[in-house]
Structure 1
Amino acid sequence: MSANIYIVEDEEPIITLIKYNLEKEGYKVFFSENGNDGIKGIKNSLPDLVLLDWMLPDFSGVEICKNLKKDIKFKNIPIIMLTAKGEEEDKIKGLNSGADDYITKPFSFPELLARVKALLRRSKPSVVADIVEFEDLKIDRMTRRVYRKKKEIHLGPKEYDLLNFFIKNPKRVYSREQILENVWSENINVENRTIDVHIRRLRQNINIIGVKELIRTVRSAGYSLS
């Protein structure tokens, strides 16, 4: 799996358990322990799925869910609500706030993982598919091989990670900060010019003479695959 998952949860043991097990499955995991940081983190990192606790020290999960779903930039990020509330009325309230699924504490990790996989397959198939194509470009995630017009292209590890990130949401523009957050993760020493260097290398590798470029620079905004 190459999906990025964001956890908003105030109980450290639950964060530790979910993070450890998701990372074992190949997911990249980010987290916050309160709603305010969670909203900022989600909007900055643009995860592929959010695990959102209902009861947080500042905002409720319902408030956060409504906040995200009313913004066109974030409304399509799938959300699974985590809660100790098991009544049908609470479940309906959570789903009506925009949550895509609902799981009651305590839960087993296999159940949570099954919900995560099912939701990603339904909402973001390009994130979990072994082979992803965009126009004449193809990525085989099982072998980490890239092809353009059926010809194999050899990329460095970081250029592959960049392309794999872009192809999850073709045509979406990502800022350098969002690219740094998702591709370099916790390495805070990476500068913007380092990102630009790797983008340039990626362009040089996937461009074909006489065929349109696939990596677009959007002035004052960032980059996209389009």
Structure 2
Amino acid sequence: MDGKKILIIEDDDIVARTIERCLRGGEYRVTIASSGVEGLQAARRDVPDLVILDVIMPGMDGYTVCKEMRKDTLLAEVPILFLTAKTKDDDKITGLAAGADDYLGKPFNVDELLLRIKAILRRTQRMKQESAQPAGPAAEASPRKEAPERIVRIGEYTLNTRTFEFYSPQTGKFRLTPVQYDLLYHLMTHPGEIFSPNRLLDEVWDYPSDAGSPDLVRVHIKNLRERIELDPKNPVFIQTVPGYGYTIPLPEEG
């Protein structure tokens, strides 16, 4: 992952330089922007592989920056990691609902930050490699064994592994963020299996057991249900098994 471009949008120069020093040791290419507007301009000039984004900034706050990136076709698929002192559950929900991939509170552990950065970059690199694979007979040889059109199907619900679009018979078609894609792909390729939040953190986020929070899984599931379900509080597709975790049920035969 040497040479990956990391954009830090952070108005506290001490924090920004601390992160920069940590990343320089990993031979990342680091750019720092001290405001939301400056950060968006920097991202559009040179699209980064990852954005580390503060929330509380003068002018345009981090939530707005995140939403603007997700609306911009140039930046829509760039992963975003919030790094902020706003760590209440409502803050995390707001940030992840805006389109962020992960959320880490301040003060932060440098080793955990580096772990999350590496995990996010591995996921996005995997998605790029998969999208570059040819359709047709070559796709049939893929370890994931998609059909030639590269569609994963559960009943009427479909996931296109080339365009990262999901179709719900209730709400129609929409494009997923990288982490939403990985989460749905994992659940849809294991229908009927129940996954605890900690297991999903391990198998989807690539985080060890002592990193990450089950809240991260809970909020991403909540956001997906709001896009997939007519009634997100009574989900049909991604279901909760109380005391165990989440599952996508096997479609009923006939």
Could you give the per-residue CA deviations for residues 114-142 of structure 1, whole angstroms, max 9, x where no partner exists? 01000010112489x9xxx999xxxxxxx
**Residue 59 in structure 1 maps to residue 60 in structure 2:** yes
Could you give the per-residue CA deviations for residues 10-39 of structure 1, whole angstroms, max 9, x where no partner exists? 001111110011011110100111111111
1:53 CA drift (Å): 0.4
SS of 2:111 mapped into structure 1 = helix
The equivalent residue for 1:14 is 15
SS of 2:73 mapped into structure 1 = coil
Unaligned runs of 5+ in 1: 136-226
Report if the CA contact (8 A) 1:10-1:33 is conserved: yes
Report if the CA contact (8 A) 1:5-1:27 is conserved: yes
d(CA) in 2 for partners of 1:16 and 1:64? 21
Could you give the per-residue CA deviations for residues 77-122 of structure 1, whole angstroms, max 9, x where no partner exists? 0000111111111101100000010000000111100010000101
The equivalent residue for 1:123 is 124
The equivalent residue for 1:112 is 113
d(CA) in 2 for partners of 1:4 and 1:99? 17
Report if the CA contact (8 A) 1:4-1:28 is conserved: yes
**Residue 102 in structure 1 maps to residue 126 in structure 2:** no
Give the fraction of aligned pairs with identical amino acids, expressed as a percent: 38
Q: Give the number of equivalent residue pairs.
A: 131
Aligned CA distance change for structure 1 residues 2 and 134 (closer, same or farther; 3 Å): farther
Please list, as runs of the form range in 1=range in 2, the aligned pairs for 1:181-200 lying within 5 A after superposition.
Answer: none
d(CA) in 2 for partners of 1:126 and 1:66? 22
d(CA) in 2 for partners of 1:87 and 1:21? 26
d(CA) in 1 for partners of 2:67 and 2:93? 14
Q: What TM-score do you get using the length of structure 2 for normalisation? A: 0.49
d(CA) in 2 for partners of 1:117 and 1:126? 14
**Residue 37 in structure 1 maps to residue 38 in structure 2:** yes
SS of 1:124 mapped into structure 2 = helix
Report if the CA contact (8 A) 1:48-1:124 is conserved: no
Please list, as runs of the form range in 1=range in 2, the aligned pairs for 1:61-76 lying within 5 A after superposition.
Answer: 61-76=62-77
Could you give the per-residue CA deviations for residues 183-207 of structure 1, whole angstroms, max 9, x where no partner exists? xxxxxxxxxxxxxxxxxxxxxxxxx
Please list, as runs of the form range in 1=range in 2, the aligned pairs for 1:103-182 lying within 5 A after superposition.
Answer: 103-125=104-126
Q: What TM-score do you get using the length of structure 1 for normalisation? A: 0.55
